[in-house]
Amino acid sequence: PDHDVMTYRVAVLGAQGVGKSALISQFMTSECINAYDRQRDIPKEQSVSIMLNGEESELQFIYVGGVKELEKDPSFAALVMMYSVVDKASFQKVEQDLQRMQEHGLLRNRAVIMVANKVDLARSRAISTQDGKCLACTYKAKFIEISVGINHNVDELLVGILTQIRIKASLT
């Protein structure tokens, strides 16, 4: 039955071109999710239903332009901060956004997941794994390297987002 399915809103942030829409499209076709109920058509929001540890949850992914939007909307359970490992400016944007969010208290009581995409483009890499890990560690964020292009770690990310949300929810 539908009534005990928890729904969580997940904000997705990142510079243009890092792969946000590619990622969410990939989530929609992921093997670890159930088919989403198309009757509940929510414009501009994309939802996936996940069965994890015998419990179903729904994640709603919403593109968020920046810190201001988050201040107006406190309903997000998780923040996905995405950059591309071949785009140094996109990494710097994550760095700036995290700093501003910290200053505005927006990281508290939320799962924060830093996602480094496009690891398939190894020869063009501009941001090392270590640099990513260091930044994530500074803000107590989870860190994962993925490639939407070759479907590397995409299911793991989806499960990781829900796991972090459940951990935070159990603490508050």
Tell me the site size for ligand GDP, rule CB under 6 A. Answer: 15
Residue showing tokens 């992921």: 30
Binding mask 135-154 for ligand GDP (x = CB under 6 A): ------------xxx-----
Least distance in angstroms from the C-beta of 87 to ligand GDP: 10
User: How far, CA to CA in Å, does 4 sit from each of 1, 38, 69?
Assistant: 7, 19, 29
The angle subtended at Cα 39 by Cα 29 and Cα 155, nearest 5°, is 20
Is residue 117 a contact residue for ligand GDP (CB under 6 A)? yes
The one-letter amino acid code at 67 reads V
Phi, psi (degrees; rounded to nearest 5) at 82:
-115, 140
What is d(CA 120, CA 86) in angstroms, rounded to the nearest whole number?
Answer: 10
Least distance in angstroms from the C-beta of 5 to ligand GDP: 27
Structure tokens of 38? 């198309």
Is residue 28 a contact residue for ligand GDP (CB under 6 A)? no
**Residue 57 or 64: which CB sits closer to ligand GDP?**
64
Site for ligand GDP (CB under 6 A): which residue of 9, 110, 118, 166?
118
**Residue 12 or 77: which CB sits closer to ligand GDP?**
12
Site for ligand GDP (CB under 6 A): which residue of 6, 21, 102, 125?
21
